[in-house]
Amino acid sequence: MPVSHDDPLVLICADLQLEYLVPGRRQVMLDGDAATMRCLELLSLWRSNLWPVMHLKRIADSAWFNPSARLTDWIAEARPRPGEMTFEHALPSAYSSSRFAGYMSSVRNLRCVLTGFSLDETILATVVDGFHRSHRHLVVADAAACRQPGAGEAAAYKQSVMNVIANFATIQSSAELIKTSGAVAV
């Protein structure tokens, strides 16, 4: 599929929810605070340029992720604004939301910039699903966080996940993305 810089570039903020920042929780994110700051920088850039923004919210029915708890609420600074799209998904992939899958299939040549939490679940599953649907994704490495692994070195775990993602999506740093001001090829 030919890449054109005229194709819409949308920022997808994955699962920027309080649940992922609470120490001691099973799904606490490794370097969650640093990734959150990068996400907020990119969100500010998108909003100031009036570029499209999507928000994903994980709603899972399980003992470890209680959808009725306030911990599933958005991080205050990342809360969706009027006009920004929101999609709830029960399974790791955003495509498990029929609304998200329908929207993505109805828009041609959309370039997606993925940031946020659950690099090893939501972001990985979404880029793999998107790849098989011929959707183009770019993952911002320093604006994406994954769970702390149970054993082993955390940095090596994240790099392993990124290596898998690189088979299905472009990987870029937030500095590179900001430098290009959105004129990126995914």
The tens digit of pLDDT for each residue in 145-161 reads 988 666 667 788 889 99
pLDDT tens-digit series, residues 84-105: 999 999 999 999 999 999 999 9
32 pLDDT more than 70: yes
Q: How far apart, in whole angstroms, are the C-alpha atoms of residue 168 and residue 24?
A: 32
Confidence of residue 9 (pLDDT cuts 50, 70, 90): confident
- pLDDT of 98: 95
pLDDT in tens, 77-87: 999 999 999 99
The H or E element spanning position 48 is helix 32-48
Mean pLDDT computed over 2-23: 77
Average pLDDT, the chain: 85
CATH 3.30.200.20 assigned to 9-180: no
SS (H, E, C) 112-150: EEEEECCHHHHHHHHHHHHHCCCCEEEEEEEEECCECCC
Q: For the segment 41-85, what is each residue's pLDDT rounded down to a tens digit? A: 999 999 998 999 999 998 876 554 555 566 678 889 999 999 999
Where b means 16+ CB within 10 Å and e means fewer, 45-64 reads bbeeeeebbbbbbbebeeee
- Enumerate the domain spans of the chain: 9-180
